[in-house]
Amino acid sequence: MYEKSIILTRDKRMENFIKNLLRSRKKSFETSIPLLTDMDAIKEDIHKVGTTVNVRGEFAYFIKNYGFPYMFLMDYQVDFSLPLQNDPDKRKLLRTFLLAYVLLAYGKGFENAVANIVFIVDKSNFSTVTQFVKNPAVLLEQIHTKDDRINAIIDSYAQNKDRAREFFRLSYIFRPEGGKYAAEMDRLEKIMEIFDQNIASFEEEETRPVRKEPVTEMIPDDLKPADVICRATLAKIIVNGESRDIREEEKNSYVEKNIHISGAVTQRTLPEVKNRIFSTFNVMAKLNPFKKDERIFIKLPDASTVDGAFAISMGSFLVKELGEYGGISIDIGKDNLEKLKKSEGYFAIEEFIIKNL
């Protein structure tokens, strides 16, 4: 972990200065993988394959062998001569590696790892880059794939700005004007010094057994989707998106404007359950609308069944589909909460969980 750096820039003089600085500090850097060292090789591969899948594959190979790079230095913008719709802002490579970092961290359990990325930027990009450095989540929000599961993972990072900022340690050096590289090497050396000061604590955390084991409880495949019930008013109740008069025996069971989830909320049933929750909000808009800042409780008792898919799927849903309602909280049973804490996607739902149950 943090053994070797990656340098990806078209500026060969800049590259040589960076390599000399790394050598002076006894730091190694990648030289043998073309798709991690040579912009022309990357351009050729993208034009041949049509995507950056091979680039991501080589990066995964690097991670497998060396762990996260000590530093990943890369041009902030690269013109690969692609059609405008495929790379309108010349940041395709940047997005490729941000996505790769997120997926590798999520999939391989590097919960305490840090992505130490240094952008090589033109001074004209200064104001934009500084905003991204302060808030990496903004960059993540610009990444979208055709895979809903991957999008959910990206969204879970993007929604948690503190987590994104902790994981992505972004910084920058300028592309020198007039060949004045010394000032930028001084800037880079300071970046290295700051990172060196923290490596010991990062590695200490990395050696701890922090990877959470997935929930292994066997759950039947034939469970029906959970009922989503909300008492809209004193006289009306909504069940799975349909309103009706409340029955006498239900009056003491449901508090007005609380949403109750009763039944199975598993990988197989989640799409329908989320649809029922969304429908509930639509019907409530006609009967007794939720206010944007109102405290809205979604109750998920231990009598309901959840699995490891719940956290990241529901967390993404609440952010993307119901993000305008800032007061949503999940009131979850203690046993179900313990199950979710063992799932890899718990961070995506954590901020919605009512504390100190």
Evaluate whether residue 222 is within a structural domain: no
* Judgement on whether residues 330 and 248 belong to the same structural domain of the protein: yes
How buried is 239 (Cβ within 10 angstroms: 0-12 exposed, 13-18 middle, 19+ buried)? middle
Name 129's Cβ contacts closer than 8 Å, sequence gap at least 6.
76, 119, 121, 172
* Judgement on whether residues 166 and 281 belong to the same structural domain of the protein: no
Return contacts of 347-352, CB within 8 angstroms, 24+ apart. Answer: 347/156, 347/160, 347/163, 347/311, 348/152, 348/155, 348/156, 348/159, 348/160, 348/311, 348/312, 348/314, 348/315, 348/316, 349/310, 349/311, 349/312, 349/314, 349/315, 349/318, 351/160, 352/315, 352/318, 352/328
Q: Of 175, 206, 237, which residue sits at a domain end?
A: 206
* Judgement on whether residues 191 and 265 belong to the same structural domain of the protein: no
* Judgement on whether residues 232 and 193 belong to the same structural domain of the protein: no
Residue pair 176/12 in contact (Cβ under 8 Å)? The answer is no
Place of tokens 């808009």: 285
Of 68, 62, 90, the C-alpha closest to 77 is: 90
Evaluate whether residue 218 is within a structural domain: no
Domain CATH number, residue 238 = 3.30.750
Evaluate whether residue 240 is within a structural domain: yes
What pLDDT sits at residue 208? Answer: 54
How buried is 318 (Cβ within 10 angstroms: 0-12 exposed, 13-18 middle, 19+ buried)? buried
Evaluate whether residue 128 is within a structural domain: yes
* DSSP code at position 325: -
Evaluate whether residue 348 is within a structural domain: yes
* Judgement on whether residues 55 and 179 belong to the same structural domain of the protein: yes
What residues make up the domain containing 158? 4-206
Evaluate whether residue 131 is within a structural domain: yes
* Judgement on whether residues 146 and 34 belong to the same structural domain of the protein: yes
Specify the pTM: 0.59
Antiparallel, parallel or unpaired: β 227-231 and 259-262: antiparallel
What pLDDT sits at residue 202? Answer: 56
Q: Which run of H or of E encompasses 318?
A: helix 310-320
Evaluate whether residue 252 is within a structural domain: yes
Residue pair 300/336 in contact (Cβ under 8 Å)? The answer is yes
Of 306, 302, 308, 278, the C-alpha closest to 290 is: 278
* Judgement on whether residues 155 and 269 belong to the same structural domain of the protein: no
Low-confidence ranges of the chain (pLDDT < 70): 106-111, 149, 200-221, 344-345, 347, 355-357
Antiparallel, parallel or unpaired: β 259-262 and 242-245: unpaired
* Judgement on whether residues 178 and 80 belong to the same structural domain of the protein: yes
Evaluate whether residue 122 is within a structural domain: yes
Residue pair 316/155 in contact (Cβ under 8 Å)? The answer is yes
* Judgement on whether residues 21 and 155 belong to the same structural domain of the protein: yes
* Judgement on whether residues 200 and 52 belong to the same structural domain of the protein: yes
CA 134, 178, 28, 56 torsion: positive or negative? positive
C-alpha distances (whole Å) from 263 to each of 79, 228, 270, 300 are: 52, 9, 11, 9
Q: Of 176, 206, 236, which residue sits at a domain end?
A: 206
Two structure tokens written together for 328: 């949503």
* Judgement on whether residues 196 and 231 belong to the same structural domain of the protein: no
Cα 278 from Cα 241, distance rounded (Å): 8
How many structural domains is the chain composed of? 2
* Judgement on whether residues 244 and 180 belong to the same structural domain of the protein: no
Residue pair 330/354 in contact (Cβ under 8 Å)? The answer is yes
Q: Of 206, 238, 262, which residue sits at a domain end?
A: 206
